[in-house]
């Protein structure tokens, strides 16, 4: 028997400038996420640019404005079921509709913080780092305009 079809929805969220980023993250994780679960969303995850994700300049990320402050992902049986979930998200963030256009969203996960902050670990070891950096950049340039790439480091919270 085939499992039922599911669709993953991904929402970028911005915080109001008057709300501290930690408070925004706590609200997403403590209130918004659980409400999505209560509304029937499955595998709800919140990625928030909170204090734990503030790595200073240990990770070379080009500044981009405006920068989103959170990503909420979840699964539904059909994208047609998203209405109540989108209303909740729209009421919970400064802006989601009308945000800058994005051609795609990529999530990269690391097992340990050092996998992100240590370039040698990130690129597969000191002896392979230079070659792997070139390979990855060449590959990325084949399908991305690197001048338009926005990167945001976030903490991930799995809620269901």
Residue with the larger pLDDT of the pair 157 and 64: 157
Total number of domains constituting the chain? 1
For 28, the token pair is 């997403």
Residue 132 is assigned to a structural domain of this protein: no
- First-to-last C-alpha distance (Å) of the chain: 24
Does residue 63 register a pLDDT over 80?
Answer: no
Establish if 87 belongs to a structural domain. Answer: yes
Is 31 within a domain?
yes
Kindly state whether residue 19 falls inside one of the protein's structural domains.
Answer: yes
Averaged pLDDT, 31-45: 97
Specify if 131 maps to a domain. no
Domain of 12, in residue numbers: 7-109+153-158
**148 within a domain of the structure (yes/no):** no
The answer to the question of residue 138 being in a domain is: no
Query: What confidence category does residue 62 fall into, taking pLDDT thresholds of 50, 70 and 90?
Result: low
CATH code (residue 56): 3.30.70
Whether residue 11 is contained in a domain is answered as yes
pTM: 0.81
Give the dihedral of Cα atoms 109, 114, 115, 120; nearest 10 deg: 160
Whether 58 and 118 have beta carbons less than 8 Å apart is answered as no
């Amino acid at each position: 028997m085939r499992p039922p079809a599911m669709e993953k929805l991904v929402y970028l969220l911005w915080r109001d400038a008057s709300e501290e980023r930690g408070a925004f993250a706590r609200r997403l994780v403590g209130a918004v996420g659980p409400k999505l679960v209560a509304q029937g969303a499955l595998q709800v995850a919140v990625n928030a640019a909170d204090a734990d994700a503030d790595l200073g300049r240990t990770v070379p990320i080009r500044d981009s404005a405006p920068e989103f402050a959170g990503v909420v992902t979840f699964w539904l049986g059909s994208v047609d079921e998203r209405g109540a979930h989108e209303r909740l998200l729209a009421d919970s963030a400064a802006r989601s509709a009308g945000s800058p256009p994005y051609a795609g969203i990529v999530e990269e996960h690391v097992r340990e913080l050092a996998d992100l902050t240590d370039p040698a670990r990130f690129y597969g070891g000191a002896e392979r780092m230079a070659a792997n950096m070139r390979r990855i950049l060449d590959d990325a340039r084949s399908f991305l305009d690197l001048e338009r790439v926005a990167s945001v480091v976030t903490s991930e919270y799995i809620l269901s």
